[in-house]
Amino acid sequence: MTHVVSLKEIALQAGVSLATVDRVLHGRPGTRTVTRDRVLQARAELERQRQQLARRGRRFLIDLVMEAPLRFSRLVRTALDGAMQRAQPAVFRAREHLAETWPHGALAERLDALGRCGSQGVLLKGPDTAAVREAVAGLQARGIPVLALVTDLPGSACSAYVGLDNRAAGRTAAWLMAPWLRVAGGEVLLSSSGPRFRGEIERIEAFVEALGLQAPRSRVHLLDDGQGLHAPTVAGVRRLLVAHDRVSAVYSVGGANAAILEAFDWAGRVCGAFVGHDLDEDNRALLRQQRLSAVLHHDLDHDLDTACRLLMQAHGVMPRDRAALRSGVEVITPFNLPPDLRR
């Protein structure tokens, strides 16, 4: 039987009143644009989660809060949809709070707002800042468990970190790149989306340390002002290539790999070794074109299954266990790309 999404469910999903939902859906004036957009987003979220609404079981309304490029947020959202469908014996619904970049202080303010309106769990990919840590502490004090997703928030009140072993990833990238550098020489562009994300910092530190042992003559240039977005990354890499004519390899911890290669093409330079992260749409295409040497992939399905399990444990729905919280690193090349991703 198909579940019909009710106005009450939309109001709960959007965090607004029934009257506001009715006004928006019937096109009547008197609602701010941001509120209207939130109601329409809530309806779209529920339509996508329609199968969840028809199930029976203990119900949880959780929040996915992310600062990340859209290409990665889509991967996480798809993985979360699958994890919610697999979760037993609970029935999960998720609200999304996704932005490529949040204005200063806005992400912490959104977390504070979730504390006021209520949530049964927050999955957070956010920067490691004092304001975010304070907001996390506020949620935990209200009994709302917060899980750091993909990038850790050490020293915060987060219940746990779920995601990639980022130091292992950085060491793996160095291991893959060092033999090429020892033979071909050259210098390395280390591209990050910025210094605020602990996961990227861990990758960078581990890569630099490991490469120093395996290819000690290879100089590394850090570029951390691209935010993982196309246009600022193209501009930043162009400037770096003009200033450093021996850069011929890339370890990209923050994405925007098509932008990096666009800058190499503009400069008429060859990127001899390129290691990136995540099997998003851009990286799958670049692997098929053999423009990436390798992508360090981790199982987001595992991460989100783990997150749902931890939330159920926090609410006493299932017993606690000792299952691994960190996912391992899988090396994907143009020649072992999963069959369903080769086209």
Q: Which of 301, 258, 303 is nearest to 276 (CA)?
A: 258
First and final C-alpha spacing in the chain: 35
Query: Which range, of 146-150, 173-177, 335-339, averages the lowest pLDDT?
Result: 335-339
Average pLDDT over residues 108-128: 94
Residue 99 — left, alpha, or beta (φ > 0 → left; ψ -120 to 50 → alpha)? beta
Query: Which range, of 21-35, 126-140, 166-180, 204-218, averages the lowest pLDDT?
Result: 21-35
pTM: 0.80
Domain coordinates of the chain in residue numbers?
1-47, 48-164+299-327, 166-298+333-341
Q: Which of 197, 246, 245 is nearest to 224 (CA)?
A: 197
The average confidence (pLDDT) of the chain is: 88
What residues form DSSP beta bridges with 276? 295
Give the pLDDT confidence score for residue 139 in this predicted structure: 97
Neighbours of 112 (CB within 10 A): 14
Give the pLDDT confidence score for residue 225 in this predicted structure: 84
Average pLDDT over residues 19-48: 75
Q: Is the model's pLDDT at 37 over the cut of 90? A: no
pLDDT digits (tens, 9 = 90+) for 264-292: 999 999 999 999 999 988 999 999 999 99
Q: Which CATH class is domain 1-47?
A: mainly alpha
Do 10 and 39 meet the contact criterion of CB atoms below 8 Å apart? yes
- Taking each continuous run of H as one helix and of E as one strand, the counts in the chain are 13, 12
CA 222 to chain CA centroid, nearest Å: 21
Please tell me the CATH code under which domain 166-298+333-341 is placed: 3.40.50.2300
**Superfamily (CATH H level) for 48-164+299-327:** Response regulator (3.40.50.2300)
For the chain, where are the E strands, in sequence order?
58-67, 90-99, 122-125, 146-149, 160-164, 187-191, 220-223, 247-252, 273-277, 294-297, 326-327, 330-332
Average pLDDT over residues 295-321: 90
Give the pLDDT confidence score for residue 322 in this predicted structure: 74
One fold for 48-164+299-327 and 166-298+333-341? yes
Query: Which range, of 39-48, 72-81, 210-219, averages the lowest pLDDT?
Result: 39-48
Do 192 and 236 meet the contact criterion of CB atoms below 8 Å apart? no
Neighbours of 142 (CB within 10 A): 12
Q: Is the model's pLDDT at 325 over the cut of 90? A: no
Give the pLDDT confidence score for residue 152 in this predicted structure: 92
pLDDT band with cut points at 50, 70 and 90 for residue 1:
very low
